[in-house]
A and B are shown apart, each in its own frame.
Chain A
Amino acid sequence: MSDLETPRRRFGISPSLIQLSSVRFKEFIREPEALFWTFAFPILLAIGLGIAFRNRPAEVVHVGVIGPSPAASRVTSAARADSGLAVEELSADSARVALRTGRVALVVVPQSNGTVQYQFDETRPDARNARLLVDNAIQRGYGRGDVVGVSEAHVRERGSRYIDFVIPGLLGMNIMGSSIWGLGFTIVDARRKKLLKRLVATPMSRAEYLIAYLISRIVLLVGEVVVLLGFAVAFFSVPVRGSLLQMTLIILASVFAFGGLGLLIASRAKTIEGASGLMNVTMMPMWVLSGVFFSSENFPRAVQPLIQALPLTATNNALRASMLRGEGWSVVGPEILLLIGWAIATLWLALKWFRWR
């Protein structure tokens, strides 16, 4: 046959790797739903959380005083001296209802012997707070003076707000989700459609096929990270204190770790249903345990070693340490090494088990 040609290597990279990567990239950007879930969804989530958890002025604490009686009036006016308290006189019955429904955090019961009794649920933090405020106000109203002079300086530090906490978590969750879904679904789909089998019937390098997935993920991830971080910095002034190099290494290590996990999940599954079950089983525990929306420190000490070993915990810890606190390599480095460990283990297993037909 005529017109034979031999493809040229561009920059020393094999032409098939370039083709495989560009094809993966094109397939992704031609999928409008995938674009929405990858780029728009995390931003909408950040906006929602930013509004729900915006910092508000200190809340007023509601308390009740059982009355009417001269003692009740005196207690009431003493408590009202604190502007942080909203005080109302209640009958004994309605006070019980108000306490039970949480409308008041605490009820003051003036006793016949001139003392007062506080009724509150000592397990509730807001009730304990109310006890301190009410007691302080009443003691002062009855004449207690300060022993030491104090003054207050109010500090609101960027990096300690909820939105600052949650943005690195969302970033980590997004890297995990798009890597695992992006790789898992496309590979299982290609296997189901016998496209994998068709590809291995050519001289294609199998390693290149899988590497192309990681390359296209990294390219897309640059976009995802820039969009989400750019938004967070521009609208919420979330700090990015660590160096660009540090951020890049954290993100690359986590792409490889989650990419490997995605490949592992997709290595044998033959149906989308089977794969999506596996993906949920893998990701769900990390959404809960790895400190996306709240700190993973809330879980018992006994399970902490397990939680700290999860790749999403490592990603979130590293991102927070770098972005919010500007920590050095001594803190961020071990997390990156843990992610690289995950990447090596999962990629090795995935290649070992991968079903091409």
Chain B
Amino acid sequence: MTNVPAVSVRGLRKRYDDVVAVDGLDLEIASGECFGLLGPNGAGKTTTVEICEGLTAPDTGDVIVLGRRWSTDERDLRERLGIQLQETQLAEKLTVTETVKLFRSFYARGRTVDDVISLVQLDEKRDGRVGKLSGGQKQRLALACAIVGDPELLFLDEPTTGLDPQSRRQIWELVEQFRSQGRSILLTTHYMDEAERLCDRVAIIDHGKVIALGTPRELIASLGAEHVVEFVLAHGANGLSEDVLRRMDGVRGVRRVGAENNGAGWELRSSELHRSVPALLAELTRRDLQLAELRTHSATLEDVFVHLTGRQLRDE
């Protein structure tokens, strides 16, 4: 692939009335890379993507896509981009084939309609009305419309939000297939597993700013610990302090969680689970404290987000 970055964004700012959606954002997406914008709802992901797609004008900032600018090369860029928007409802009265055919007709060059329909596994629904498709099928059709112009760069805004696990996996396979052909992808998501599985690099966004950037592995490693131990003391007991926990073997970070547990819930980040857990249990026995819950999991991007912002990624 070429050395021209797929997307290059500098000092992007966008304000809606009294809300600052994007607040000084820089991004550089390499050609052939699958890049993820990760963040909670309202973080500014969609606004950022729509500015890159040339659908929204930024207040200030510089956007270069495939080495070109929207102000001078819109027509050329439109031919080379594939776009899937959040919440587009395609015409319900048309069939799958008619819809793909329509989108195909807009591009000077592109893939054949049949080819794209097979690719997104909608062969059996080819003559079915769009209105009768399931959520997952509609999303695959949206993807078909995005790739029918044979784009060099694909924008996907929350491609699997609201879908069942099987449909999500189908979409992931399509995205992976597209990436394996050396094409670039910018996707937004608030699903950690999606970003970890699909993205070469991830930017975590909060309040319109990039607060962390790197490969999923780098970001998780930045926690300094690969494991997370969550526990809740029985009877809302309150006989532990941060200092005690921090001194235990392998523990790299401590956080009190869950007001609903009267402060009896804790979260430890550990680099050596096999030493931290026995140490914890020994400490609890010594202080005559009982456990109500104990869980461990490998650290994820979710933990990175929680670590950086002190909030959960999804409002649960």
Chain A residues within CB distance 8 Å of chain B: 1-7, 15-16, 18-20, 23, 26-27, 30-31, 190, 193-195, 197-204, 357
Contacts and interface: CB of A to CB of B under 8 A. Distances in A.
B103 A197 contact: no
B111 A200 contact: no
Contacts of A204: 106
23 contacts: A1-B181, A3-B112, A4-B111, A4-B112, A6-B108, A15-B105, A16-B105, A20-B102, A26-B93, A26-B94, A26-B98, A27-B93, A193-B89, A195-B89, A195-B91, A198-B85, A198-B90, A201-B78, A201-B81, A202-B106, A202-B149, A203-B75, A203-B149
Interface of B: 53-55, 75, 78-79, 81, 83, 85, 87-91, 93-94, 98, 101-112, 115, 145, 149-150, 181
B111 A1 contact: yes
B150 A1 contact: yes
B75 A27 contact: no
B149 A194 contact: no
Contacts of A5: 109-112
A20 B101 CA distance: 10
Contacts of B115: 2-3
Contacts of A6: 108-109
Given A19-B101, A200-B55, A193 B93 contact: no
Given A3-B112, A357-B55, A195 B78 contact: no
A357 B88 CA distance: 11
B107 A202 contact: yes
A4 B110 contact: yes
Closest 9 CB pairs of A and B: A193-B89, A19-B105, A203-B78, A16-B105, A204-B106, A201-B83, A202-B106, A198-B88, A30-B93
A23 B106 CA distance: 13
A199 B102 CA distance: 10
B79 A194 contact: no
Contacts of B87: 194
Contacts of A190: 91
A212 to B, nearest CB: 10
Nearest to A201: B83
B55 A197 contact: yes
B93 A202 contact: no
A40 B111 CA distance: 43
A236 to B, nearest CB: 35
Contacts of A203: 75, 78-79, 106-108, 149
Given A4-B150, A20-B102, A26-B94, A195 B107 contact: no
Given A195-B91, A199-B106, 13 more contacts: A3-B111, A4-B112, A5-B111, A6-B109, A15-B105, A23-B102, A27-B91, A195-B90, A201-B55, A202-B83, A202-B103, A203-B78, A203-B79
Nearest to B108: A6
A4 B81 CA distance: 16
Contacts of B104: 7
B53 A18 contact: no
A30 B149 CA distance: 28
Given A27-B93, A27-B94, A201-B55, A19 B112 contact: no
Contacts of A30: 93
A117 B149 CA distance: 91
A273 to B, nearest CB: 18
A202 B108 CA distance: 11
A184 B116 CA distance: 33
Nearest to A18: B105
A198 B110 CA distance: 18
A211 to B, nearest CB: 14
Contacts of A2: 115
A5 B145 CA distance: 15
A4 B94 contact: no
A16 B150 CA distance: 17
Given A23-B98, A195-B91, A201 B53 contact: yes
